[in-house]
Amino acid sequence: MRKTIKLFILGLFLGTGAGYAGSGDLVLNDLEYFEKRGVNLLVYNNLFTGGFNDEKNAGIEIIHHGVRTSQGGAVRLAATPEQWDLVPKITSRKVNKEDNTIETTLVYEDYDFESRIVVRSIGEVAEIAVYLDKPLPEALVGKAGFNLEFLPSQYWNKVYYVDDRVNRFPRYATGYTTTMPLSEKLKQFKGYNTSDDRGTGQFIVPLPLENGHSFLLAPDDPERMIRITSDDATISLYDGRSLAQNGWYVLRSLLPAGVTGKVVTWKVEVNSINNWIRKPNIGYSQVGYTTKRDKVSVIELDKNDVVLDKASIYKVETDGSHKEVYTGAVKSWGDYFKYHYAKFDFSPVKEPGVYYIKYGEHTTGNFIISDNVYDRITDATSDIWIPIHMNHMIVREAYRVWHGEPFKEGYRQAPPNTDHFDLHWQGPTTDTKYKPLELIPGLNVGGFFDAGDFDIETSSNVSVVQNLVSIWETFKPMRDQTYVNQQQRYVELHRPDGVPDILQYIEHGVLNLVAQAENIGHMSQALSNSVLYNYHHLGDAASLTDGLPYNPELGPYEVAPDGKSSGKADDLWAFTSRDPALDLNAASMFAAASRVLKGYNDDLAERALTQSKRLLKEATELMEKQAQSGNRRGGFGDIATYLELYVSTGDKQYRKTFEDRLWMMLDRNVSFGLLTALNAVPHMDASFKKKLRPYVEKYKDYILDLEKNNPYGVPIGLGNWAGGGMTVNFGTSICYAALYYPDIIDVSHAYKVSDFIFGNHPYHNYSLAAVVGAARPKEVFYGNNRADFSFIPGNMAPGVLFRRPDHFENYDDWPFLWGQNEGTIAGNTGFLTFGYALKNVAK
């Protein structure tokens, strides 16, 4: 029986009739990764970071028929590593094309432990070997092992074989677990408080689903089939989702104790379909197009594909029939990283209606041509996403309560020298009058959750108010679909209350930021969780803490007799190390907000203007001292502050300082500072607009260079966070430049930005924003409801994430990678600004 099953499995790999056969040997290419048709095997092209440690984007990675299905190949200290578990430092990476090898050295400095991983291609097989020059440290025996992680959404419900046994990957984590002392787990973290919340002193540990020497994954799916075998080590399969919803399936072999040399060897055979060609990604705007504008589809093609001569537009008639109404040439643009690109211009199609694109045998979803397609693109963001992220409020939508009132207990002073797990840092002093862990009064009001978590990132909240003020002063949107009651701390969606929503959102943001300035004395870095166990909380924000101030005189979970305090140390902390640059940004925001709030909330308007002037004075003095001591380089962070103060007060000295510094900034980098200059145009005279003109002409050159840089003609980020925010800011700059300088900047470039956001981009053609009007928006995002594999309407994702050296991706079946799927409060209000600007120029 055992022999029969092995022969059957081998037949699945080699049976050419089903298209399962390989497509040549793995070749070590000039980009320093192994490839064959349909398979890319990356070996530390992407490294673990020192920030969030395990971001599921590093190590040995497999891109399988166009999808990155496996990552994290490394020696790890846990079977199912979490985000903040220790990651190895990569001290060397050697590529040897003669030997077909890539060798990396991995170091855990905390344990003085070094290992080497050598990946070698042997025909169609990749051999992965772990070498030790010194025996495994005793502290890591039974803990250190070689791991390779597989994306659950690409494997759940598919079958797998382990030696002679067959099973199926579970859709939901249902495996066995055990526990271990929390003190043991803490050794794998960076010293964070990882309380288990209920004082059990235990930590969950997943147990293996299977153990064996040969694993065949997904023989029922040729695009995902992989065989991994080891003669010298047992391989175990774990489900990391038992410990954390963002966990992956993990194959793991423990490193043996007391030996050196080649200690673990795996052979990895990644199936490739004969003559596989990736399906064309036909880009188009899911929202649609206005009648007279240019309409261009960018078609992303496998380099083994052939560019077809023509594509067609079909119209969906009112009787349900489909009619070909236009056929045009498809023109090759060229290569951009991994793929080849072509363009299909169907601008002649102008008649309102419902259409789709047909390219060869492939068709897109439908889109609308109408002059009102952009009218509602901001509605979901302003009506739903933003109010749901209002902190310190109960938020209700029809029958659903999105969250109760969070953090009634307020915020405590973060202790000095605190290294926070979300990249915040409390310096050697508090920079305040408060003692460590003392309650800072008045901070539990207003403000917005940053993103997929529940903290208040001050710089983001400053940007939110600035964006909303810009929207209000430029476009005066009177939309009212949200009930906001600050006295009751209550918000209800889809319920008008007679006040424009944007005004209420500005007020809500300023309430928290003014409270920071008044009670702390300057702006905090963040108001955030003190306990890692709480930080990765998903669900109702109000249940993250108990809502009662911490009382150290009580037992760990004891509540005071009067019910007004508890012994649960779950209160959030204020990180208060002073940053004068942040204070300057806040001064700018306060000055702008004071204008808008005047006549609506006069007291708050006056308080905001008072704090603006004070922070400007104090921050400028601090920055001058830092510059004299050589601790800070010069910059232009205060330019917008002087503009806003000039507009708010009319003081010409503020205007003079603004202009003096603006021209210097534009001389250095016009693309960085142009939007600030354009925001000033309505408040300046004709001479200012004339002096700005040559800089706008220079910006046009930047736009034209983008046309040569990539087929989409927009800035595309190549960092560890996708570049959606940069793209949106580019679009907003174009809209304003086209408004004030229409003879220089053509509005068509703004449409390229909207098309990119709404589906004309690499990897897939889904809208990156879950907006009203999009035919197929992304369906999962990294929001605070990500464990439900859902999204909050109105969210905009960061976008297509670049993975070195040549791969773009945006998962729509796995929300847990924030760099491509997490909408932020600053980013989404930036999108809101662009949306209003686009609607304006479209008219």
738 three-state secondary structure: helix
401: its two tokens: 């309560």
Farthest CA pair distance, the chain: 90
Q: Is 201 helix (H, G, I), strand (E, B) or coil?
A: coil
Total Cβ atoms within 10 A of residue 443: 24
Please, are residues 321 and 339 in contact by the beta-carbon 8 Å criterion?
Answer: no
Q: What is the distance, to the nearest Å, from the Cα of residue 381 to the centroid of all Cα atoms in its chain?
A: 17
The position carrying tokens 């382990």 is 162
DSSP 47: P
Distances (CA, A) of 455 to 16, 39, 452, 783: 54, 40, 9, 13
Report residue 170: phi and psi, to 5°: -75, 140
Q: What are the two backbone dihedrals, phi and then psi, of residue 118, each rounded to the nearest 5 degrees? A: -120, 120
* Kind of pairing between the strands at 362-363 and 159-162: unpaired
How far is 522 from 412, CA to CA, in rounded Å? 15
Q: Is 727 helix (H, G, I), strand (E, B) or coil?
A: helix
Backbone angles phi, psi at 700, to 5 degrees: -60, -40
- Number of CB atoms found within 10 A of residue 708's CB: 9
Task: Give the N- to C-terminal CA distance of the chain in Å, as an integer.
Answer: 73
Specify whether the CB–CB gap between 84 and 529 falls below 8 A.
no
Residue given tokens 């005004």 in the structure block: 503
> Smallest Cα–Cα separation from 228: which of 128, 321, 139, 320?
128
Residues 782, 802: Cα–Cα separation, whole Å: 17
Orientation of helix 580-597 relative to helix 602-628, angle to 10°:
160
Q: Is residue 140 classed exposed, middle or buried when 0-12, 13-18 and 19+ CB atoms within 10 A define those classes?
A: middle
Is 518 known to be catalytic?
A: no
DSSP at 542 = G
| 534/192 Cα distance (integer angstroms) | 12
Helix-helix angle 652-668:686-709, to 10 degrees: 30
Q: Is-catalytic flag, 813?
A: yes
What is the rounded distance in angstroms from the CA atom of residue 18 to the CA atom of residue 224? 14
CA distance 786 to 570: 23
Say whether the peptide bond before residue 805 is cis (omega within 30 degrees of 0). Answer: yes
Q: Do 28 and 267 touch, CB atoms closer than 8 A? A: no
Catalytic residue numbers?
Answer: 813, 822
